[in-house]
């Protein structure tokens, strides 16, 4: 598996990467291209690398992941408020389990990293300058840490939905 990153300061928002591999790149929610699949799943690797090659601003970099880094493929689009609302209507997990969702308001987040430090299985700043939820729904064993991260966030940028 690979992980791709977009340098938002270099990206000229031409949209080519999204056109080449819309499962991995999106300009829908930002003025620059955002990576919405991290790590990139094997079936999207070839086209993601094509997007890297074709980027006119050389704004996309990638790294090969070690096997032990290949866990928890996420789709960041699934954490958008609209998707969260859909998921609330149709929980993805067994009703008997306690379903929790964590949502980060990226406009409030200052990228301090406290949440990642408290709940690294749930929050990550690896791909964006703000915290991204990488476990959705939040696994039961990480729910307490996610709550703690929300409490500790200095910008009240994290919402916990239960």
The residues binding ligand SF4 (CB under 6 A) are: 6, 11-17, 25, 33, 55-57, 59-60, 104, 109-115, 123, 130-131, 153-155, 157-158
Task: Please report how close the Cβ of residue 51 comes to ligand SF4 at its closest, in angstroms.
Answer: 6
CB of 158 to ligand SF4, least distance (A): 5
Complex with ligand SF4: residue 78 or 155, whichever CB lies closer: 155
Question: Residue 81 or 113: which CB sits closer to ligand SF4?
Answer: 113
Of residues 5 and 78, the one with the C-beta less far from ligand SF4: 5
Q: Tell the smallest beta-carbon distance from residue 20 to ligand SF4 (Å).
A: 8
Q: What is the DSSP letter of 135?
A: S
Q: Give the pairing of strands 34-35 and 25-26.
A: antiparallel
6 burial class (0-12, 13-18, 19+ CB within 10 angstroms)? buried
Q: 71-89: string of b/e by CB count within 10 Å (b at 16+)? A: eeebebebbeeeebeebee
DSSP letter for 26, please. Answer: E
């Amino acid at each position: 598996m690979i992980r791709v990153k977009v340098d938002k300061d270099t990206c000229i928002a031409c949209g080519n990467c999204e056109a080449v591999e819309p499962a991995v790149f999106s300009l829908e929610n930002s003025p620059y291209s955002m990576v919405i699949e991290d790590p990139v799943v094997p079936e999207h690797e070839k086209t993601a690398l094509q997007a890297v090659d074709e980027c006119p601003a050389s704004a996309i970099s990638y790294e090969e992941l070690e096997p032990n880094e290949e866990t928890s493929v996420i789709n960041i689009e699934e954490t958008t408020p609209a998707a969260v609302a859909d998921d609330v209507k149709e929980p993805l997990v067994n009703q008997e389990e306690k379903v929790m969702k964590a949502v980060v308001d990226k406009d409030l987040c200052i990228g301090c990293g406290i949440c990642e430090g408290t709940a690294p299985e749930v929050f990550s700043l690896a791909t964006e300058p703000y915290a991204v939820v990488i476990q959705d729904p939040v696994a039961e064993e990480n729910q307490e840490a996610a709550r703690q991260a929300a409490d500790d966030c200095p910008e009240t940028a994290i919402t916990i939905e239960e």
